Copies of this chain bind each other. A is one copy, B any other.
Amino acid sequence: MRELADEGPQATRATGVVDVRVGTEAISAAALAQQVGSRSAGAIATFEGVVRDHHEGKAVSFLEYEAYVPMSEAVLLSIAERACRRWEIEAVAVHHRLGRLEIGEVSVAIAVSAAHRAAAFEASRYVIDTLKKEAPIWKRETGPDGAFWVEGPDLIEASD
């Protein structure tokens, strides 16, 4: 867990990467939105990735996430720092959950605050898009047809 600051919603200024975490605890964008708020932030954009009941036309019963934890936290921190350099944002926070997740549970949560909304939207989109490409995190999905590793666009039957 990297908690790089600890400022509440009414703090004078929460800036930069305020929280990056990859772990098994439940997560929510609402909690992160509180962390990125500040007196000078006029816009807060959030994103939640949620376990859904289908993928590539197959029914899904639940997902299991695993990660190379320290590297995935370092990669998320790097992505969040890049977002801070590319856009005029105030603060960014990102959490990814691991372990077995049921339908409707949140697997990834992102919040970005900025003076203006365009930067908040673009940076939060950047963080999730880049996380999906770079973070060493994997999902295994289980449904009526069995268990599958999700490897990028491919589903590969799991044998254990």
Complex contact A50–B41 (CB within 8 A): yes
Given that A44-B50, A46-B45, A46-B46 are known contacts, is A103 also in contact with B39, CB under 8 Å in the complex?
yes
Asked whether any CB of chain B lies closer than 8 Å to the CB of A53, the reply is: yes
**18 new A-B contacts at CB < 8 Å, known A121-B124, A121-B125:** A9-B104, A28-B30, A29-B29, A29-B30, A30-B33, A37-B104, A38-B104, A39-B52, A41-B52, A42-B50, A43-B47, A43-B48, A43-B50, A45-B45, A45-B46, A45-B124, A46-B47, A47-B120
Given that A29-B30, A30-B28, A30-B33 are known contacts, is A117 also in contact with B47, CB under 8 Å in the complex?
yes
Given that A10-B104, A45-B45, A117-B128 are known contacts, is A50 also in contact with B28, CB under 8 Å in the complex?
no
